[in-house]
Structure 1
Amino acid sequence: MDFSLTEDQRALRAGMRELMERRFPRSRLRAVVDAEGVGGAAAGEGADAGAGVVDRGLWRELGAAGFFALRLPEAAGGVGLGLPEAVLAFEEAGRALLPGPLAATHLAAGLAATGAPVAGAAEGEAVVTALDAAGAGHGGAVLVEHLASADAVLVLGDGGAGIRTAKEIGSSAEAVRSVDPATPLHRVRGGVAPAADGERSIGERGGAGRGTAARLRREAALLTAAQQLGSALRTVETAVAHARERVQFGRAIGAFQAVQHLCASMLVRAETARSVVYAAAVTEDPGDIAAAVLLADEAAVRNARDCLQVHGGMGFTWEADVHLHLKRAWVRAEQWQTAAAAEEELAAGLMSTGARCL
């Protein structure tokens, strides 16, 4: 069986990378994290906005490129591709540290095929964030990203999924400080129903509704893992480039064995995660997705740490970009499926397999 990327998939990845580099270069990333303002905010095209405000112009350009409608059937106005192609696109977004609720808006765009569309999501005209009630922490609190910039919220609960307006959810939310300056967070306390009274949830209620919510949660976890993979691969490139350029004791630091070992370990983590993330995109098996989450989170976090080590003291300064990958990796690792939840999923699968073998 051939697992190599097809020519179309390679073209998709190259096109997405070109779009990210052209529309979200390093200067734009620094403008976001330094709170110098981003164009295309809600206040109007070309207006300045504070750090963490979703760039509406960029969002619409992503929509025009088919990023959000990638898996929407062509008959519904989408591109008609599958989860493997979406993983490739999200990998490039992670490589560029593109901010915003990408996975939630992508999932919301795909709901047009279920008869519960979110107007403007596929075209990038609407920003959709998500609230995963299954990820509620102590006291039933849930963290929601980019709530202030969102038009709608995809709510996933134990009994199903639904769409609520950001205004409804925001009325019970409080802003909290985020470790990642490009990912503003709000804490929402108390249970939030997937749909308001009198409104229809996505899919049917009961078992079918729970199945829809579980599917959306798994897909979001895999797409987030793809972003972690992109970040892990980018930090490998960054570390290797710095090791070639930085000179100490008359030699490039890449000539020293300790630095070579760091870079080699980073590459092994990233390529291992890549294999499992790509495989999970093909099988869509819950256990495979859980394994992809674990390996991608580890690769993103540990590679960012090792990249900081390669950069030495400079890596810890605000002017360097390395710490931004680490901070984003920390935030993503707590979204959708945490390491503990992924381990439980894998354990349950192993127990089930063992029971069938007895």
Structure 2
Amino acid sequence: MRFQLTEDQRALQRGVRELLARRFGREALRAAVDEPGRLDRTLWRELGAAGFFALRLPEARGGVGLGMPEAVLAFEEAGRALLPGPLVATHLAAGAVPGAASGETVVTAVGNGLVEWLTEADVVRGDAAGAVPLRSVDPLTPVHRVPVARDVDPVAVLLTAAEQLGSATRACELAVQHARTREQFGQPIGAFQAVKHLCAEMLVRTETARAAVYAAAVTADRADIDSARLLADQAALQGARDCLQVHGGMGFTWEFEVHLHLKRTWVRTHRAGTVTESEERLAAGLLAEST
């Protein structure tokens, strides 16, 4: 399959990136880390006004009228920017929950026994009775554990994979930037073979995941979605670890965003069903084909 973004899709991607760079840049990210658990309602409404939550809602119902490929591009940019909040749940609620499409209503959902941003949500989809707060590894994603899990929408799995792809892309960018500017022994560290290999492997994993995520957005096949999720999780997790390796000790400091990507990717692996669930569905499909 040859898949090339259209000019309209590229324009959408640039538009979302520019919006997030303007409204959730480095200073806003730092402010969010300093006030964990607080959702920026003004930014949320701006996302709604820009059509982020209503991308797939038909125009006749007040939406943008686009499809899954466009939603994937938008969520990829959100992942790249480390945008906090129950983005997937609110997006899926557009058209079903009043105010969700416009960003006036914050929606979260129970999935796999976890719920994100429970205390900040206006509407909770699913049974959150008995929710117990957990100490999240990601300061930008408060989580609660609930005793009952619910079935996960495949769209939630794919959009989560798109966010992971965004983190993998950003980790690769950060590693390459640092490798070009940081000098040791009188030359950029990117001149050393070990660093070159790390950056090259990050790029290969990221682009492999990109192909899988974009293809799943087109086919909407559950096996393709599960495959995309596995590849995106791997690219995001290993990419963040390798990016930390390139940065060395400074990558763990609060002055750099690298460790935040690693922490967010850990949390996302527990959202929208676990990696194990995707692996089991793929394995069951392969076994069914072989019998």
Query: How big is each residue's C-alpha offset from its partner over 1:290-313, in whole Å with a ceiling of 9 and x where there is no partner?
Result: 000100000000000000000011
- Cα shift at 1:352: 2.3
**What pairs up with 1:4-43 in 2 under 5 angstroms?**
4-35=4-35
Q: Which amino acid aligns with 2:104?
A: E
Corresponding residue number in structure 1 for 2:100: 121
**Is 1:69 matched with 2:46?**
no
Write out per-residue CA displacement over residues 189-210 of structure 1, whole angstroms, 9 at most, x where no aligned residue.
3x48x8xxxxxxxxxxxxxxxx
1:19-74 Cα offsets, whole Å, 9 max, x none, are 11001001111111122xxxxxxxxxxxxxxx121111011000011000000001
Residue 149 (1) aligns with residue 120 (2): yes
What pairs up with 1:147-186 in 2 under 5 angstroms? 147-155=118-126, 169=128, 172-186=130-144
Unpaired runs of 5+ residues, structure 1, are 36-50, 136-141, 156-163, 195-212
Cα distance in 2 between the residues matched to 1:329 and 1:272: 17
Residue deviations 1:88-117 (CA, integer Å, cap 9, x gap):
0000000000000000000000xx2xxxx2
Task: Select the residue among 309, 315, 320 that pairs with 2:256.
Answer: 320
Q: Equivalent residue for 2:76?
A: 91
Instruction: In structure 1, give the amino acid aligned to 2:39.
Output: V
Give the distance between the partners of 2:61 and 2:67, measured in 1 at CA: 14
Q: Please name the residue that 1:341 is paired with.
A: 277
TM-score, length of structure 1 as denominator length: 0.79
1:78 pairs with 58, 63, 84, which one? 63
Residues 153/329 of structure 1: CA separation in 2 closer, same or farther (3 Å cut): same
> Separation in 1 of the partners of 2:140 and 2:252?
17
Q: In 2, distance between residues paired with 1:316 and 1:80?
A: 42
SS at match of 1:319: coil
2:197 corresponds to = 261
8 A contact 1:293–1:337 mirrored in 2: no
Query: d(CA) in 1 for partners of 2:288 and 2:210?
Result: 26
SS class of match (1:320): coil
Q: Aligned letter for 2:211?
A: S
Identity of aligned residues (%): 67
CA distance in 2, matches of 1:102, 1:261: 34
For these two proteins, the number of residue pairs brought into alignment is 291
Letter matched to residue 146 of structure 1: W
- Mapped to 2, the partners of 1:341 and 1:265 lie a distance apart of 26
Amino acid at match of 1:280: A
Tell me how far apart the structure 1 counterparts of residues 273 and 191 of structure 2 sit (CA, whole Å).
Answer: 39
Distance, in Å, in 1 between the alignment partners of 2:64 and 2:125 is: 22
Quote the Cα distance in structure 2 between the aligned partners of 1:330 and 1:340: 14
Cα distance, 1:188 vs structure 2: 2.0
Q: Distance in 1 between matches of 2:2 and 2:281?
A: 28
Provide the rounded CA distance (Å) in 2 between the counterparts of 1:19 and 1:353: 45
Q: 2:228 is matched with which residue? A: 292
Give the TM-score taking structure 2 as reference length: 0.97
Runs of 4 or more, structure 1, over 6 Å off, are none
SS in 2 for 1:326: helix
**Which one scores higher on RCO, CA 8 angstroms, separation ≥ 6?**
2
